[in-house]
Structure 1
């Protein structure tokens, strides 16, 4: 009778319960374990309603009974099943995602033994009831009910996430999924689902909350790489590829390149070289546009080597001629004419058809523009290439660097000519 705990004070309840137990036992013919279970339900109701003094009184009653043994399954069914779900229960939580989150957090805290104050005392009482039913042998709450509590918390967080999405509150939705992932991580044989949920949270958050998304991506990848029950190198590689894109979007080129490199290594370790080369292309383009020319040229040459014998198409998706062209642009952008000439000759020897390609002719003209400091020749090559698919952000950045070099050297040349002319006039005078 729930009115016993809702309308009666704790002190009164502790005195009334023995009589109530006797009445219930006599009316229903409950003896032995049946009586103990009846007391247990009343005790749980007291704990649920924070009637801790009454709960302690019931414990003393149960402790004096002789029929205190039960099987583990019976213990979990009667001590750790439905009554516990009454704790903090509220019909309002079914429609309010904030209350769902609150209930999920409460369940998670109880399962992990992190409650403080009154809640901690409640958990202690529940454990005491369990020990009594087991005949004095304590049962680890984490073995049975911990998983059940965490399952309930996962359901709460998932439901809250759906409602937050419908309300357009993406940050809250992502946070809810992240909390569900943390619950799954603490449930045996659910680490793979935890990784999936961290990944889902990252995809929700990445549009507007990049740092939170990167944190979720990292946690998901860590599970895929280190948890023996969830090893999936290709999934981890895809995550690092996405992280590289986010870092690039945020302008953090160093971390972006690092993420791309980890993705490349994982794809290759998992035996997927095509996906590895796709990341290598992105890393090479980023390295070129961020003036890391050594890494860019090295990456382009790796892709060229991977594309040898594939009828001009590299594994990275770009044509082999285009990759050669981009590597040559890197040499021109840093003013390395000797390196340009060496690689240009090497590419022709490896593939004679490259000499007659449009990319080779443009690269050769650009070299001429740099050597002769001719802005006219440079502008003509830009016009010829502009509008093509090759003229992307990284190529545009390289052309800008080449142009700045020409402009600077052109101005220095003019100033030198003026100084020489002035010196000649002075000598004449």
Structure 2
């Protein structure tokens, strides 16, 4: 480790010296970029991530001087991947630089990939608003490049976080849209009932029984097989439990479904919100009677 660190520092000093020295404009930056690349690699081997990231940024600057945007974009991405281990803010900043260069080059697929990576970093930090913002940018670019699967993955993340932030209508629109598009695709159509279940749970969170029942009718029109599924039965049972203000019936329906198909933590969290709202309404009604 110590040897690698010493090697890295040596390469970096030589690179800086090249930049300060005389020489033909191009060759000076080419020589320095080669040395910064070696320095960054040695820093990585020494697990000195901040210094590796900084060396890659210097490498990117050399490439920009040589008007090699593609290489500069890659160097910024390499810097971001080093910073990811120690400094999320720097990592995001380098990925942004990389995206901007790839956008200039018309490499939208690469730009989308790195927007998605920024979104994942914000997700890791539990900054859901920023995560949504970058997943949206990634989804749009993937869509424009017709990479539908990646676009849908990003959209599902947006819907998931929107619901967590109580932006239920936004989540509903996305889940319904994905379900609609998936129906015509043999590989994706098996996931339709799952998307409609997610949309339905978001409808339940809004607490409007009429809207829930209208949505169930709409889902049945969209996919005639839906009413024969356990997902439909769960939503219908929960809807009538809310209508009847019957918390026990609500719990039983959830338990019955969960015993056959495990509910993930996202669904469980949202269904708990619905149940809490039912309890709060019950207390309100009791107060009104006294």
Match of 2:86 in 1: 208
What SS does the aligned partner of 2:106 have? coil
Aligned mate of 1:319, from 191, 196, 200: 191
Pair 94,321 (structure 1): closer, same or farther in 2 beyond 3 Å:
closer
Structure with the bigger percentage of helix: 2
| Distance in structure 1 (CA, Å) of the matches to 2:262 and 2:165 | 18
What SS does the aligned partner of 2:225 have? helix
TM superposition outliers: structure 1 runs of 4+ over 3 Å: 92-96, 105-108, 384-390
- The answer (yes or no) to whether the contact 2:63–2:72 under 8 Å persists in 1 is yes
Match of 1:22 in 2: none
Match of 1:5 in 2: none
| Distance in structure 2 (CA, Å) of the matches to 1:367 and 1:274 | 32
**TM-score normalized by the length of structure 2:** 0.90
Match of 1:273 in 2: 148
Quote how far apart the aligned CAs of 1:387 are. 7.3
- The answer (yes or no) to whether the contact 2:4–2:46 under 8 Å persists in 1 is no
| Distance in structure 2 (CA, Å) of the matches to 1:105 and 1:376 | 72
- The answer (yes or no) to whether the contact 1:234–1:270 under 8 Å persists in 2 is yes
How big is each residue's C-alpha offset from its partner over 1:3-51, in whole Å with a ceiling of 9 and x where there is no partner? xxxxxxxxxxxxxxxxxxxxxxxxxxxxxxxxxxxxxxxxxxxxxxxxx
Pair 342,203 (structure 1): closer, same or farther in 2 beyond 3 Å:
same
Pair 159,312 (structure 1): closer, same or farther in 2 beyond 3 Å:
closer
| Distance in structure 1 (CA, Å) of the matches to 2:93 and 2:261 | 34
| Distance in structure 2 (CA, Å) of the matches to 1:207 and 1:372 | 52
Does residue 162 in structure 1 map to residue 162 in structure 2? Answer: no
**Count of matched residue pairs:** 288
How big is each residue's C-alpha offset from its partner over 1:90-127, in whole Å with a ceiling of 9 and x where there is no partner? xx99944234333333434x3xxxxxxxxxxxx6xx5x
Uncovered stretches (5+) of structure 1, i.e. residues with no partner = 1-91, 111-122, 127-140, 420-429
Match of 2:13 in 1: 102
**TM-score normalized by the length of structure 1:** 0.62
| Distance in structure 1 (CA, Å) of the matches to 2:169 and 2:246 | 26
Quote how far apart the aligned CAs of 1:372 are. 2.2
- The answer (yes or no) to whether the contact 1:328–1:343 under 8 Å persists in 2 is yes
| Distance in structure 2 (CA, Å) of the matches to 1:350 and 1:154 | 57
How big is each residue's C-alpha offset from its partner over 1:365-384, in whole Å with a ceiling of 9 and x where there is no partner? 11122222222222223323
Relative CO higher for 1 or 2, CA cutoff 8 Å, sep ≥ 6? Answer: 2
Aligned mate of 1:148, from 8, 17, 27: 27
Does residue 367 in structure 1 map to residue 255 in structure 2? Answer: no
| Distance in structure 2 (CA, Å) of the matches to 1:300 and 1:176 | 43
RMSD: 2.4
